[in-house]
Structure 1
Amino acid sequence: MTRTLLFACDLSAENRAAFGRAIQLAVDSGTRLDALHVLDPHLPRQALHDLEQAVVAEMERLLTDIREDYALPAPQALLQTVAGAPFEEIIREAHERQADLILLGGHRKRGEPELVAGTTLARVIRGAPCPVISAIHPVTQEWRDILVPVDFSLTCRHTLRETLKRFPEARLTLLHAWDIPGERELGSSGDFARWRDGELARLREQLEGEVDRLMGEVEAVPELRLELEQGDPLEVLLTRLRRQPPDLLALSYRGQRRQQSRLTARLLAEPHCDIMVCRAW
């Protein structure tokens, strides 16, 4: 079966960067680009028929225009429309096509995390059977530096494997947030400080061992750096993104736990970079 990259095309100006990224990824990975536009199912039948033809023609024009703008080769492509609820149709099509990847544009309501949960992007992330990329930067901004928050759970291991498989030439930074009980109460104590430093050294040694084992599973070992930062994982990640945004953030998704939901909403509402979200399996 042909490997496919499913691109959700809404024809908006904000979607243009994502379209360019979808073309590039399809060409680089040798997958077919399936560009999908979801129509309002409540329109009259004749209006749907006429609109479908106009939308496909516009997608063809955009595909040619973006390729010429960025000197991109022509991918194997399939441009289609379906009628229905956008997030439902995108997820359904991803299942039916056994999509290797779903790519969408960014969330438009910037700075409003409370509005993210009901968006097409957030709903697709929750229900997608494959990794989902939200692309906001033009294809000229290559994904050279990729940030992967890690706690070495099974979910994070899977995300790291997906990142290594898809972007073997990139530079990876693994970010681990740590915290030790008693820091607030005993941080000024010399004995506590020595114990904490020893624990931190042991943690780094364990994490480096985990990284070495994972690297043994891949053919090409990329340039990789492990960073340990003290603090709450959400705040550590947000601070890192504001201070030094990567080209791509590879994020693990564990479902709708409260902390996970807050993290996803904040990142989608305040995007500092393109984001790839991987499920736990």
Structure 2
Amino acid sequence: MPAPSRVLVPVDLSEGSRGLIDYAIQLATPFNAEIEIIHAWEPPQYVAPDLLVAAPGWNSQSLEQVAVDAATKELNQLVEAAQRSGRPIKHRVVVGEAAATVLRVAEEGKHDLIIMGTHGRRGLPRLLLGSVAQKIVARAHCPVLTVHLYDAAK
């Protein structure tokens, strides 16, 4: 198997995302691999993403735009801290169901490795929330490295 040259790092913006990004940088650096970090924002199924959000003295925006702007701000902060390593890192927020979006971005971007976190949920939480990592591992066109994200509060 050839060394990775394009690494995709999907993050959920949880506590463990910073550690996952640092890990991906450490892993990609010896190969001089490009790193792209994405966050997939999934519109809620019970609310229309084009629902307008407004407050007095504020221009109304769609729910999707407010959520994407907030996620972009968080992602920018994560990447800004990680770029102190000197490695150029591409990053963006994409809209869509998490697993399908990550798979689409990986194929379109010709990534040859996906490094992603997993929370290791079991039982009812896994049944209700599903496992994005499991879906990606099962369907990805390239190798997927999953890293267990530990909760800093534990």
Residues 79, 89 of structure 2: 8 Å contact kept: no
The equivalent residue for 2:121 is 109
2:49 partner letter: L
TM-score by length of 1: 0.41
1:39–1:82: 8 Å Cα contact kept in structure 2?
Answer: yes
Q: 1:87 corresponds to which residue?
A: 99
Q: Partner residue of 2:49? A: 43
Moved more, 40-49 or 97-106: 40-49
For 1:48 and 1:115, locate their aligned partners in 2 and report how far apart those are by CA, in whole Å: 26
Deviation at 1:65, TM superposition (A): 3.0
Normalising by structure 2, report the TM-score: 0.71
What residue in structure 2 maps to residue 5 of structure 1? 7
Give the Cα separation in 1 of the matches to 2:50 and 2:125: 34
Tell me which of 65, 74, 80 is aligned to 2:81: 65
Establish whether residue 15 from structure 1 lines up as the match of residue 17 from structure 2. yes
Asked if residue 97 in structure 1 is aligned to residue 97 in structure 2, the reply is no
With over 3 angstroms needed to count, the CA separation of the structure-2 counterparts of 1:137 and 1:47, relative to structure 1, is: closer
Give the stretch that moved more between structures: 89-98 or 17-26.
Answer: 17-26
State the alpha-carbon separation in 2 of the partners of residues 51 and 74 from structure 1: 29
TM-aligned CA deviation for residue 33 of structure 1:
1.2
- The higher-RCO structure (CA 8 Å, 6+ apart) is 2
Greater share of helix: 1
Give the aligned length. Answer: 131
Distance 2:90 2:79 in 1: 11
Identity %, equivalent residues = 24
SS at match of 2:25: helix
Unaligned runs of 5+ in 1: 139-281
Structure 2 residues not aligned, in runs of 5+:
52-61
| Counterparts in 2 of 1:48 and 1:137: CA distance versus 1, 3 Å | closer
Q: Say if 1:15 and 1:104, in contact at 8 Å, map to a contact too.
A: no
What is the distance in 2 between the residues matched to 1:59 and 1:134? 20
Quick check: 1:8–1:90 contact (8 Å CA) kept in 2?
yes
Cα distance between partner residues in 2 of 1:48 and 1:113: 29
Larger Rg: 1
C-alpha displacement of 1:9: 1.0
